[in-house]
Amino acid sequence: MRIHPRASFESWKEVVRGRSRPFEREDREALSRLAYQLEAMHHHFELYNETKALRAKQMLQEKMLLESTIRTEVLRERELLLDSLGEGVFGVDAQGICYFINPAALRMLGYAEHEIVGCNAHDLIHNRSADDRPLTYDECMVQQTVREHRQHIQEEWLYRKDGSRLFVRMIATPLIKQGQMAGAVVAFSDISAEYEAKEQLQKLHRQLFGLIEGIPLLSE
Amino acid sequence: MVQNLLTSCDDEPIHILSNIQSRFFLLTLAPDVFDVWQCSENIFELLGASPEQILMRPLERWMGGAYMDALGTTVERLRQERRIRDNFYIDGLFCVVHLQEQCIVVEIEQCGSSQMQTMRNDITLSTFMAEETTYMNLPHLLDHIASRVLEQTGYARVMIYQFDSDYNGTVVVEKTIRLKESFLHHRFPASDIPAQARALYLKNRFRVIEDVNAAAAALLPSTNPGTLAPLDMSHCYTRSVSSIHLEYLRNMKVGASMSLSLIVNERLWGLVVCHHDRPRRIPLKQFETWHQLSMLFSIQIAHKLELIHYEKLSYLKLRRELLIESLRRYQDLPFVEAFGKVFDLYRKTLDCDAALLWYRGHLLHDMSGWSDTSIHVLLETLTPHLHDRIYLSSTFGIDFPQFHDAATAIGGVATVELAAGQMRLLFLRFEQIDTIEWAGEPKKELVL
């Protein structure tokens, strides 16, 4: 048996299916390079997003630190301002708990700061009326301020740590934060001298009128 | 049975056929002493002595001193310069000499001095080298080469075959004079030029068959007494060819044939094939020139192919850069979302018809007619075929017929896995229905 080669070279057509335009060596190289580049880009995306998250966290921390610094500074300035006024100032929350008090107030009331901050101010320093009877919460001008959302100005007695009392003029101003009643700020000034002078004057008036009452009428 | 016979055809030892074309003479000589070890059976026409008279005897008994001096000088030059071949002309004989490990091979053509004079003004390498081809693209260059070869050889047909990856050869250029039959765009199956013939075309770039009907002259004895093996004729210009190939040429109505190898990156890229309807002689002196021209044509083609290669690479690189830069613009978005914004650019990075990105379970694609389930089956099917993370196939519809239907007519697939398996890229090329015009039905007939 032996092989004979093809005898006819006439055109013989064959339809071929299932193939595409060929992928050449350039396509293989391009695919390989694309894989490396996308791998690097994917890594870049991951790093970028991690960095972005870290940066956002860092920025938030920086913002909080800045706000805290500003707040501290503002408080310090406010304290200085309140000190320089020579008036007593303290703040209470909606429940009447004192959350700050200035040195002038502490001096006038004879308390240390830690003895009064965190305590109910009404119970501690404002629990009796001018006629020395117990003062209820309803009657307390500070509580009224909180309840009614409006400023109250009144002359009241405040009680010192040693039990002695101090006659003051009080201005209670409601404190509203983000639309909500947060408490009140109370400023007071010592008017004891004024009160005593007034008392003295009234006493002199009474004596004077007593004398006058003792003089016989001209018609008698 | 058929497959076995075709394989045996591939195994035919065509480089040791021990025959030459009978217009030439061949001698193998012992190194140094130049005793004749083998001669072509037609040697009497050259020396006036029979093979029996000259075998195993010094060549100088029949050749003059001048001839022996020229031969000695050529052999010495070959040894010093480590060249494959050299030649000399003396007393009407043109001789090509090449050295083998244990013997000297001399191929001889008888020609007059007037013929030599004419040939000196004949085709030269420098003529071709002087021609400006840099402005030509590849088709233009191939056309130019075929035209010039037709003009210089006087053959009736010159074709340039280009081999595909399977070594099927398509006629990409054809130039003819006189002949009506055309093979332009015809495809010749790889079996027409079997593996050992391709190996020979790589070793020896030039092959001529001056007369397909001429009887061959055998080498005597068939076994070389020096090497105790048949002569390896890979580098011989005048060797005869297989009777099967001669019959093939006669079936093509070819009387004479000449072939030049076109070798690019050490691979047989194509052939310049010249056919004549009658016998046609080519002087032995021109063989070496055509051999050199085959090298020149190969370099010119390789240059054009490199240009095409780099142009395509540059184009694809630009596409990739565009994709990457566009992706970077969306770096504030999650990766998949950003990818969705540049999907068109992504598909174009590989010049495909559809594309897909699989990323941590997310699918982005423009593969119409594919369900997510069928896409996952496709990805899983391809996974075992990834080599170095990559798989490319232009015969996907044939290799995986289960995915080949009218709705999703896919012909080619390219895929790559990356980011430690978190990402897969997939590119699809639609099926391209090809009509191949074979030069005859591509199978060999068997005759008992």
- How many domains does chain A contain in total? 2
- Residue by residue, DSSP assigns B1-48 as -HHHHHHHHHT--GGG--EEETTSEEEEE-TTT-BEEEEETTTHHHHS
Judged by CB atoms closer than 8 Å, whether chains meet at A12 and B439 is answered as yes
Q: Provide the residue type at B185 as one letter.
A: H
Residues A51 and A102 in one domain: no
Task: Report the pLDDT value the prediction gives residue B364, as an integer from 0 to 100.
Answer: 93
- Looking at domain B333-430, its CATH superfamily turns out to be PHY domain (3.30.450.270)
Task: Report the pLDDT value the prediction gives residue A2, as an integer from 0 to 100.
Answer: 61
Let me know how many helices (H) and strands (E) chain B has, helices first. Answer: 14, 22
Residues A72 and A113 in one domain: no
pLDDT per residue over B197-253, tens digit each? 899 999 999 999 999 999 999 999 999 988 888 999 999 999 998 888 899 999 989
Q: Could you say which of A41, A68, A85 is where a domain stops?
A: A85
pTM above 0.80, yes or no: no
> Which residues of A fall within a CB distance of 8 Å from B440?
6-10, 12
Name the B residues in 255-314 with CB < 8 Å from any A CB.
309, 312-313
For residue A45, give its domain range.
31-85
Any chain B CB within 8 A of the CB of A47?
no
Q: Could you say which of A54, A85, A116 is where a domain stops?
A: A85
pLDDT per residue over B297-329, tens digit each? 999 999 999 999 999 999 999 999 999 999 999
Q: Could you say which of A85, A117, A149 is where a domain stops?
A: A85
Token code pair at residue A112: 């240390």
A9 is a domain residue: no
ipTM: 0.78
Residues of chain B with CATH 3.30.450.40: 2-306
- Read off the DSSP letter of residue B401: G
Higher pLDDT, A79 or B397: B397
- Looking at domain B2-306, its CATH superfamily turns out to be GAF domain (3.30.450.40)
Least reliable range by pLDDT among A72-86, A123-137, B230-244: A72-86
* CATH code at position A142: 3.30.450.20
- The three state secondary structure string of B246-277 is HHHHHHCCCCEEEEEEEEECCEEEEEEEEEEC
Q: B144: pLDDT confidence band, cut at 50, 70 and 90?
A: very high
Q: B120: pLDDT confidence band, cut at 50, 70 and 90?
A: very low
Task: Report the pLDDT value the prediction gives residue B285, as an integer from 0 to 100.
Answer: 87
Judged by CB atoms closer than 8 Å, whether chains meet at B440 and A24 is answered as no
Residues A132 and A184 in one domain: yes
Task: Report the pLDDT value the prediction gives residue A195, as an integer from 0 to 100.
Answer: 85
Any chain B CB within 8 A of the CB of A56?
no
Q: Provide the residue type at B72 as one letter.
A: G
Judged by CB atoms closer than 8 Å, whether chains meet at A32 and B416 is answered as yes
Residues A64 and A123 in one domain: no
Residues A46 and A70 in one domain: yes
